[in-house]
Amino acid sequence: MLGSTWVISIMVGLIILLLFVGAPVKPLRFIANSTVKLGIGILLLFFLNVFGGAVGLHIPINLFTVAISGFLGLFGVASLAAIHLFII
């Protein structure tokens, strides 16, 4: 088993290595952009469910619907609403 001093020294070593080499910027930027888009998708679906509840429109908030509404924006939300109204 590793002691706490070994774990701390390994973490400090990794931090120093990242300071000299640099963090991979593109993967972190992709993860950050994707997280923001998924958050926007959650908000869009939430407001659709709040305002669409008066007319009986409810789209479940799950990973699939959040991804569609987040990456496609308002067109994705409109597509999900159209699928719900006309197909389901």
Query: Where do the domains of the chain lie?
Result: 24-87
Report long-range pairs for 81-86 (Cβ below 8 Å, ≥24 apart).
81/48, 81/52, 81/57, 84/57, 84/58, 84/59, 85/57
Higher pLDDT, 51 or 17: 51
Return the top range by mean pLDDT from 10-19, 25-34, 77-86. Answer: 77-86
Tens digits of residue pLDDT in 53-81: 888 899 999 999 999 999 999 999 999 99
Please tell me the pTM assigned to this model. 0.69
C-beta neighbour count of 63 within 10 angstroms: 9
For residues 9-42, one letter each, b for 16 or more C-beta atoms within 10 angstroms of the residue's C-beta and e for the rest, the string is eeeeeeeeeeeeeeeeeeeeeeeeeeeebbeebe
